[in-house]
Amino acid sequence: MSDALLPVFQPATMLFEHGEGAWLTTVDGERYLDFGAGIAVNSLGYSHPRLVAALEHQGRKLWHLSNVYRIRDSERLAERMTAACFADVVFFANSGAEANECAIKIARRYQHACGRPERWRIVTFEGAFHGRTLATMAAGGNPKYLEGFGPVVDGFDQCRLEDIEAVRSRIGPQTAAIMIEPIQGESGIRPVTHTFLHQLRELCDEHGLLLIFDEIQCGMGRTGFLLAHQETGVVPDIMSLPKGMGGGFPIGTCLATREASRGMMPGSHGSTFGGNPLAVAVANAVFDVVDDELLLAEVRRKGNLLRELLVDVAARFPSLIVEIRGRGLMLGIKTTRTSQEIVDALRARGKVLTIPAGDNVTRVLPPLIVTDEEIRLFAGRLEATLAEVA
């Protein structure tokens, strides 16, 4: 990596030049099967013709306007998204962390508008990842990320996942909201039980708190449902939702009910680039494709196929693979080796890209348009690589 870049990343050495579908090609012409999709961002794969057309079309018309003017595609996208879920209003940002900052602000401001300004703390969960801004790092509570950055932003109280009594005892007179990923991504693809989500909803209703879902990694079709929570029957008050939304174009989104957002008014939040015409043109094109029951049913079917094949591979390497977990096309392979070791071996020997996560879990996040043939190829390359590693 060039030493002109801030050394916060340790990228693999190969250099990609272009991509198509689930495939990436290096400058030397080597092809890799990408089952990481830019960490669940390239939801429709590379060079999807509808996304390319939307970007090219908008690129010739208007790139940036600022939110001091109306942006037609931003209004259109917000209307389509609110029609498809619990939310009444949408704020567009540029990243996941920004979407979560907005969610936190909406929750605090709601309590303020309800005459309870003393309520500003948020219950979060061990293993959570909500981003790398000062507040979202504090919400995630991972000591590795927090170390050396001065006083941790106050206002987040962490509980163990699935421990409803711990949550109950954490709720106090200062609590404003509960914030959770319905499926934790970074910490190793950990789906939260539907029962626990229902219990959180009940606690929120009982105590006048808002429920915030961070669907940044698991939303937008990844689980075979447009939104991961739609499978659970539990509805949040606020939700953050970016990653796959722009299919690779940066966009972040925070959605809320009208009631939850009652404290927000002109001036209480903003973003220079949020809802930029290029971003919303592409996100509308992604929405055209993903908000389709046929595509979502295919994601569920392909997720089942991939899971079955991974379970087969796991049975052949019982000392190496501990568990296959996840939902839809958001799967994790828990191994007895570190996930970095598995990811490196898959890349070097199998020419397959995956993403490391916590708890020795290798994340398998192919684009939603992956084919059955590519899924079988992935399983074959995984098996061959593990045979060498073992």
Binding footprint of ligand PLP on the chain (CB under 6 A): 39, 95-97, 100, 129-131, 181, 185-186, 214, 216-217, 242
Between residues 187 and 385, which has the closer beta carbon with respect to ligand PLP? 187
Between residues 39 and 289, which has the closer beta carbon with respect to ligand PLP? 39
DSSP letters for 4-57: TS-TT----S--EEEEEBTEEEETT--EEEESSHHHHT-TT-BS-HHHHHHHHH
**What's the min distance (Å) between Cβ of 266 and ligand PLP?**
25
Between residues 104 and 314, which has the closer beta carbon with respect to ligand PLP? 104
**Which residue's CB comes closest to ligand PLP?**
96
CA distance 103 to 242: 13
What type of residue sits at position 170?
R
**What's the min distance (Å) between Cβ of 183 and ligand PLP?**
9
Phi, psi of 7 (to 5 degrees): -80, 55
94 touches 252 (CB < 8 A): yes
**What's the min distance (Å) between Cβ of 214 and ligand PLP?**
5
Q: Which helix (H) or strand (E) holds 139?
A: helix 134-140
Between residues 98 and 374, which has the closer beta carbon with respect to ligand PLP? 98
CA distance 160 to 378: 34
**What's the min distance (Å) between Cβ of 13 and ligand PLP?**
23
**What's the min distance (Å) between Cβ of 372 and ligand PLP?**
27
Between residues 34 and 186, which has the closer beta carbon with respect to ligand PLP? 186
* Percent helix, percent strand, percent coil in the chain, to nearest 5: 40, 20, 40
51 touches 247 (CB < 8 A): yes
* CA torsion angle 40 270 146 2 (round to 10): 60
Residue linked to tokens 């879902």:
213
3-state secondary structure of 267: coil
**What's the min distance (Å) between Cβ of 319 and ligand PLP?**
30
**What's the min distance (Å) between Cβ of 250 and ligand PLP?**
8
128 touches 137 (CB < 8 A): no
Between residues 140 and 350, which has the closer beta carbon with respect to ligand PLP? 140
CA distance 11 to 358: 18
Between residues 40 and 85, which has the closer beta carbon with respect to ligand PLP? 40
**What's the min distance (Å) between Cβ of 390 and ligand PLP?**
30
Between residues 43 and 95, which has the closer beta carbon with respect to ligand PLP? 95
Cβ contacts of 371-379, under 8 Å, gap ≥ 24 = 371/21, 371/22, 372/302, 372/305, 374/21, 374/22, 374/33, 375/302, 375/305, 375/306, 375/309, 376/309, 377/33, 378/33, 378/35, 378/306, 378/309, 378/352, 379/306, 379/309, 379/310, 379/312, 379/313
Between residues 242 and 367, which has the closer beta carbon with respect to ligand PLP? 242
**What's the min distance (Å) between Cβ of 100 and ligand PLP?**
6
Q: Which residues on neighbouring strands pair with residue 175, listed in sequence order?
A: 121
